[in-house]
Structure 1
Amino acid sequence: MNNRLTQEQLGKIVGEVERLSQQRQNEVDREQMVQILQELNLPPELIDEAMIQVQRRDALAVQQRQTRRLIVGIAACLAVAIGGIAFWSQQNQQTLARVAVQQDRITLTQDDGSNLTTVSRPAEVVYRVTLKDAPVGKKLDLSCDWIGLGDQVLKQNRYQTKEITTPVWNTQCRNTIAANAPCRNLEGANVSGRSPTQRCQF
């Protein structure tokens, strides 16, 4: 061991010696304990049992402090997690609230750029929607309700978009209008002597 010490090391050693000396002065040996108990008219034979009880209580106190610290730590983690989820949810809701329809049209499967007002049955029609302020990098869960007479929902499409890559985003849903489907303002039209063609108005 190196016997040469720096001033800093010497200061630390002096401090440690003082601490140990103070600790030794505060400690009471067994003979002193017996003497103190006799002066207090207490039975010295209970020293061992009393020491066990004191050690148990000290250990229990340490365990309770550790448990409290653990509970506080878990509560803090839960609070942070709940706060994070709430913040993320609020941000997500605000993002979704900004999404709006920029343009929408009903067309046949083959889009000619027009917006259908009537269609011959049976037919497959497509509802084409252009969204604005769509959340880039996310997928949207959408639903599309096809409403018939009396505001009855005839069909509902539920789908998820692909990952959105631009704030202006095109999406669509499809529906097959059956030959016997109820619709608004039915018209009959004879074409070259053939049976009337049923037309639905949107």
Structure 2
Amino acid sequence: MNQKLNGYQLEQVVAEVERLHQNRQEELNREQVQEILRELNLPDDLLDEALVQVQQRAALAQQKRRYVWLSVGAIAGLVVILAGGGLWMYSANQQIAGISSYEDSLSLAVEKSRNIREINRQDSPEVYYHVTLQNAPLGRKLSLRCDWLDPTGQVAHQNRYETKEIDKPVWPTYCRYRFPTGAQVGQWEVRLLGGERLISSETFIVK
């Protein structure tokens, strides 16, 4: 060995040699262990079985430690996922909370036209509820719901849909319902909701 050592490296080598020497002195060979067992009046013919049991217990303990660490890692990962999901939902709710209706109207066409207040159920009309959202979250898709309530306040029809990715803060959207000829007459209401938050509503008469 031609490798040269500086003073620090020499100290490290000396310390390591001392540690190895100490470990060697602490280790007992088979004959020494048998001698100790005899001195304790214990049968030395059980030595091999005892060694196997000790090794099995050590392996089991190591396996348990591994399972503990895996469990801790899984729980930590789950906490991170739940925290991320909670943060995402909080952010989504905050964005929904900032949305309002700039204008809304009812029409018989997919394109906004004259705002109607009465419809004739005998014509089986398809009614569109147009809403222009204000403060819509840019770069997001919104999950929206329209409830069409009959004169008793019951939901006669419901639309659930997702918008396209929003690229402007003032965003038009609509939902629709084709009224059957047997629809109840009286005052109806249509509501646009984001989650459980009411964004806009409009009443109209069915004749």
Query: TM-score category by the smaller chain?
Result: 0.7 to 0.9
5+ residue gaps, structure 2, are: 188-203
- Report the AA paired with residue 17 of structure 1: V
Q: Report how far residue 183 of structure 1 moved.
A: 3.6
Q: Which has the higher contact order (CA 8 A, sep 6+)?
A: 2
The within-5 A match list for 1:107-122 is: 107-109=107-109, 111-112=112-113, 114-119=114-119, 122=123
| Residues 137, 166 of structure 2: 8 Å contact kept | yes
Q: Report how far residue 174 of structure 1 moved.
A: 3.1
| Cα distance in 2 between the residues matched to 1:162 and 1:80 | 29
Give the aligned partner of residue 20 of structure 1.
20
Single out whichever of 150-159 and 35-44 deviates more from structure 2: 150-159
| Residues 112, 130 of structure 2: 8 Å contact kept | no
Give the aligned partner of residue 127 of structure 1.
129
TM-score by structure 2 length?
A: 0.75
Distance 1:119 1:91, change over 3 A: same
- Report the AA paired with residue 133 of structure 1: N
Give the aligned partner of residue 164 of structure 1.
166
> 1:160-195 CA deviation, whole Å, 9 max, x = no partner?
21111122211122344567755449xxxxxxxxxx
Q: Does the alignment pair 1:137 with 2:123?
A: no
Q: What's the Cα RMSD here?
A: 2.7
Aligned length: 187
SS at match of 1:96: helix
Q: Report how far residue 17 of structure 1 moved.
A: 0.3
Q: Report how far residue 48 of structure 1 moved.
A: 1.9
> 1:53-94 CA deviation, whole Å, 9 max, x = no partner?
222222222222112111111111112212222222222222
Give the aligned partner of residue 11 of structure 1.
11
5+ residue gaps, structure 1, are: 186-199
Single out whichever of 76-85 and 167-176 deviates more from structure 2: 167-176
Give the aligned partner of residue 89 of structure 2.
89
TM-score by structure 1 length?
A: 0.77
Q: Which has the larger radius of gyration?
A: 1
